[in-house]
Amino acid sequence: MIHFFRGKNNTYIAVHKQDKLQQKDIEKLSWLFSGARLLDDKKIDGYFVGPRKEMITPWSSNAVDITRNMDIQGIERIEEFKPSEGKDAAFDPMLQAFYEGLDQHIFTIDKEPEPIVEIHDIAAYNQEEGLALSPDEIGYLEDVARQIKRPSPTAKFTVLPRSTQNTAATKYSTVPS
């Protein structure tokens, strides 16, 4: 269950807990979130920018640890979402996502693992996909490909679901075929 708090600076904080929050925990969370108030809404309309559902942010990890130290049990994830004026909001797509409304599924990952993709031009793929590989990293991968007698690096991408979290990780390796 996702519980939404609205902060004083007009941000929304989503708290993922399997069951309902107890009143004492609501008061502690409100204090922790600088006076944010719990909303009764299960869905928030509007446009928002927030963390990608596949990635638990360091902020979330710290916030969850703090709630454990405050003796609030069962919180799995806490993330912050900022309102946006519209669909053309600027954000970093490697770390953030655009959300048209916030609901009970904002942390649900319903994506099937994608098939293995062979990449024959790592520099072009880096540019197309926004991997942010440095020229040194690209050069290293190209050197490895030459050493194993490949015309160019073949990247093997596999989405690996994490069983304990509702997230996914991406694995990258250079392999001979």
Distances (CA, A) of 33 to 146, 150, 174: 53, 53, 44
> Residue 144's pLDDT band (boundaries 50, 70, 90)?
confident
> Residue 161's pLDDT band (boundaries 50, 70, 90)?
very low
pLDDT in tens, 85-96: 888 889 999 899
* Residues 47 and 85 sit within 8 Å (Cβ to Cβ): yes
Find residue 160's DSSP bridge partners.
169
Inform me whether the pLDDT recorded for 163 exceeds 60: no
Tokens of 47: 């446009």
Inform me whether the pLDDT recorded for 156 exceeds 50: no
Residues 46-50: what's their mean pLDDT?
96
The predicted pLDDT at position 24 comes to: 97
Placement of tokens 């409304």 in the chain: 101
Give the sign of the dihedral formed by CA 31, CA 33, CA 38, CA 42: negative
The predicted pLDDT at position 25 comes to: 97
pTM of the prediction?
0.66
> Residue 151's pLDDT band (boundaries 50, 70, 90)?
low
What span, in angstroms and rounded, lies between the C-alpha atoms of 114 and 81? 28
Half-sphere exposure of 11 (CA within 13 A, CB side): 14
Inform me whether the pLDDT recorded for 176 exceeds 70: no
Find residue 79's DSSP bridge partners.
14
Is 114 in a helix, a strand, or coil? coil
